[in-house]
Chains A and B, each alone.
Chain A
Amino acid sequence: MIGMNMEDYEIVLSARADGRLTAKDYINGLTTDFMELHGDRLYGDDRAVIGGIGLIQDIPVTVIGIEKGKNTQERIEHNFGSAGPEGYRKALRLMKQAEKFKRPVLCLVDTAGAFCGIEAEEHGQGRAIADNLYEMSTLKVPILSIVNGEGGSGGALALSHADRIWMLEDAYFSVVSPENCANILWKDTGKAADAARALSLTAQKLFKAGLIDKVVKSGDMKGLASDVYKELHSLMQKSTENLIDDRYRRFRKVGY
């Protein structure tokens, strides 16, 4: 596995690297008949978040992903994968729709963090993220979140209140970026590698700590597709009550 021998900070850099697969690639690789659905029905359509419906073999699913884009034009279009409140509200709208039609939700998480801006703040960035955590905690359908690149703090967490959290072996999930952490602690962004190690942010370490449920081998879309199918299938066997109780316990035990 890549994660075993790679320096933690190298993993962070590789999670951000050009040429990585983005949410769209995973949607193409994992689903058929995908159709994108736009807008939060409140204010706008945040292109940093793409969402829609499709099939994973015979299971209808709702898929929500944070898309970074692959070239300059796409990156600008998708705001470099930094979502504002409209993006998180679009995600929640689609999750509620999934609940109505009893189909599971697949989230693809890849963001440096929620967007920092005047509009994002005044439209309620904090409230939008909080709402997702709150509503996802009792959503009546299975939720599987896969961190396929960057798991940047609250902006990534807002799509990760899931029954299962999986991470690519060369992805990271962190409370703060290693650069910011080094800057705050040691006033030296050059110490980002030390911060990365201290933050315990790699898939391997988080798996060992019991905070995520699976480390996914990268570059094996077929294997991933079959694992996703099996997992959704098994989660769908649970009663709604068990599903929600287990999800509650999954997060309840963290840290104590």
Chain B
Amino acid sequence: MEFRKFFLKANNELEGGSILPRARRITCKKCQKQVLVSKIRKNYFVCPECGNYFSVRCRRRALMLCDRRSFRELYGELESRNILDFPEYDNKLAAAMEKSREKEGVICGEGTIGGIRTCIFAMDANFMMGSMGAIVGEKITRLFEYACDHSLPVVGVTVSGGARMQEGMISLMQMSKVSAAVKRHSDKGNLYVVLLTNPTTGGVDASFAMLGDITLAEPGARVGFAGPRVIEKTLNQSLPKGFQRAERVMECGFIDQVVPRDKQKEVLERILKIHSICR
């Protein structure tokens, strides 16, 4: 049982590699080399051999960006229900909870980054592909309202396949709900920095992911509205190299900077510092 738990944990943290138990190594899917798990951890979950970005669980993401021991979770008690009695949704929720070890696809909280009090949300790809349902929308909305009331900046890390089908129109309308909360927060002169990670698509791309005052992205992250396969099918042609990748999306004018993972905390600290002086 203990072993099983360990594998499960390592597997979750290192998606994009298959686990080799005893050696505590994984095979990087990109370079096919075996890499020590401990080395990957120290390297911000980037493959030390080839630079491949492993996906990062939401809780770890928040801890990576916040100052040591400063993160305090908010709204962690909220849990999704099968509102529409949608087929197979209950099972999918249970499986997502086990896989991600989270109650929902986003974690929200408050902490300090470079000593500056900040609200943080981070989404989780292990929870139904970071899809946005009512609770994901509710938690992020509450965070923006809290940040608005306390004049705090918001730092958000997005990863999502879009709105969650199983909640129908309720999940689609979360796009409206969160966008309105972002607007209120912004109208009071508060800062919102968003960090786009792989992939940020669909309804999340078409709402709060694209509404930051400053928009950062991880190298190589897919950022776009429609899924690449859908576009290929619609147009009946293959897509150009680099299409919907962060670097290309920056060329197109929608991202301020592509920031490697080991520099992200430092860049956020700088942004927050400059805005804390302006206030």
A interface, CB within 8 angstroms of B = 114, 116-118, 120-127, 129-131, 133-135, 137-138, 153-154, 157-158, 160-161, 173-176, 181, 184-185, 194, 198-201, 206, 209, 211, 247-248, 251-252, 254-256
Q: Which chain A positions have C-beta within 8 A of B239?
A: 118
Q: Mark B235-273, 1 if CB is under 8 A from A, else 0.
A: 100011001100010001110000000000000000000
Instruction: Choose one: B141, B208, B231, B253; the contact of A124 (CB below 8 Å).
Output: B253
Q: Which chain B positions have C-beta within 8 A of A130?
A: 175, 179, 205-211
17 CB contacts below 8 A, A to B, read A116-B235, A118-B240, A122-B252, A124-B252, A129-B206, A131-B211, A134-B211, A137-B179, A154-B225, A175-B167, A198-B168, A199-B165, A201-B168, A201-B169, A206-B169, A248-B184, A251-B180
- Please state if B240 and A254 are interface contacts (CB–CB under 8 Å): no
- Interface SS of chain B: helix, strand, loop or mixed? helix
- Please state if A137 and B180 are interface contacts (CB–CB under 8 Å): yes
- Of B8-16, B81-89, B96-104, B118-126, which binds chain A? B81-89
- Please state if B179 and A133 are interface contacts (CB–CB under 8 Å): yes
Q: Mark B133-161, 1 if CB is under 8 A from A, else 0.
A: 11101100100000000000000000000
Q: A114-B225, A118-B240, A129-B225 are in contact. Are A175 and B163 (CB under 8 A)?
A: yes
With A124-B253, A126-B205, A126-B209 already in contact, 13 other A-B pairs whose C-beta atoms are closer than 8 Å: A114-B226, A118-B231, A123-B252, A124-B254, A129-B207, A130-B175, A133-B179, A153-B163, A153-B172, A161-B176, A181-B165, A198-B168, A252-B177
Q: Is B38 engaged at the interface, CB distance under 8 Å to the other chain?
A: no
Q: Mark B186-219, 1 if CB is under 8 A from A, else 0.
A: 0100000000000000110111111100000000
Q: Which chain B positions have C-beta within 8 A of A114?
A: 206, 225-226
Q: Distance in Å from the Cβ of B78 to the closest Cβ of chain A?
A: 8
- Please state if A211 and B170 are interface contacts (CB–CB under 8 Å): yes
Q: Distance in Å from the Cβ of A209 to the closest Cβ of chain B?
A: 8
- Please state if A121 and B243 are interface contacts (CB–CB under 8 Å): yes
Q: Is B173 engaged at the interface, CB distance under 8 Å to the other chain?
A: yes
Q: Distance in Å from the Cβ of A200 to the closest Cβ of chain B?
A: 5
Instruction: Choose one: A121, A131, A161, A199; the contact of B168 (CB below 8 Å).
Output: A199
- Please state if A175 and B168 are interface contacts (CB–CB under 8 Å): yes
Q: Which chain A positions have C-beta within 8 A of B61?
A: none
Q: Which chain B positions have C-beta within 8 A of A134?
A: 179-180, 182-183, 211
Q: Is B55 engaged at the interface, CB distance under 8 Å to the other chain?
A: no
- Please state if B225 and A133 are interface contacts (CB–CB under 8 Å): no
Q: Chain A CB within 10 Å — which of B174, B205, B225 has the most? A: B225
CA distance A214 to B56 in the complex (A): 44
- Please state if A256 and B234 are interface contacts (CB–CB under 8 Å): no
- Please state if B210 and A127 are interface contacts (CB–CB under 8 Å): yes
- Please state if A211 and B173 are interface contacts (CB–CB under 8 Å): yes
- Please state if A255 and B177 are interface contacts (CB–CB under 8 Å): yes
Instruction: Choose one: B169, B179, B231, B248; the contact of A174 (CB below 8 Å).
Output: B169
Instruction: Choose one: A160, A173, A176, A209; the contact of B165 (CB below 8 Å).
Output: A176
